[in-house]
A = this chain, B = another copy of it.
């Protein structure tokens, strides 16, 4: 490929191929698309990436990414300080915000405990979580962690960590996804859905 179109285009393809969702082939298509749409897309994207590179910071309060610290969510005075939603990743925070299900504050752990991947408590944003809860004002910490083994291990660890503080700790319900068909669900989900059935 280097001999086809020069090292500059090859470099662009290689970097695009490292984005999640793009492989070598689709990165090539994306690079070509960028080059063809230079005015509408390549130039604006160059600016957007430069601005992001210069200005994006990690919020020192909650761990969200934004162009200001504290981030937009932490500065928003209309949010309920009493509710703190613990998420694994910024992507989860964004997903919850899109769903508009909760109007509290967030705290991004930056991962889950994982013996396999060698992630211990020191690698996560846990000290800051305990400090935020200890400061007072938070009445409930909602553990919005993934329903995976690592996510649940982390949930137990965080529950222990917060047990000496005067705060209620809860986790998201397990059950049948809305629109889901029973036939396609695993036994664990079905068992949880039965255990936690609600009266009508």
Mostly helix, strand, loop or mixed at chain A's interface? helix
Q: Is A19 an interface residue (CB 8 A)?
A: yes
CB pair B53–A38 under 8 Å, yes or no, is yes
Q: How far is the CA of A91 from the CA of B4 in the complex (A)?
A: 11
Give how many copies assemble into the complex.
Answer: 2
- The size of the chain A interface, using a CB distance under 8 A, is 57
CB pair B5–A48 under 8 Å, yes or no, is no
CB pair A48–B15 under 8 Å, yes or no, is yes
Contacts A20-B29, A32-B65 given; indicate if A48 touches B12 (C-beta within 8 A). yes
Contacts of A97 in B (CB 8 A): 1, 3-4
Segment from A67-75, A116-124, A150-158, A174-182 that makes contact with B: A67-75
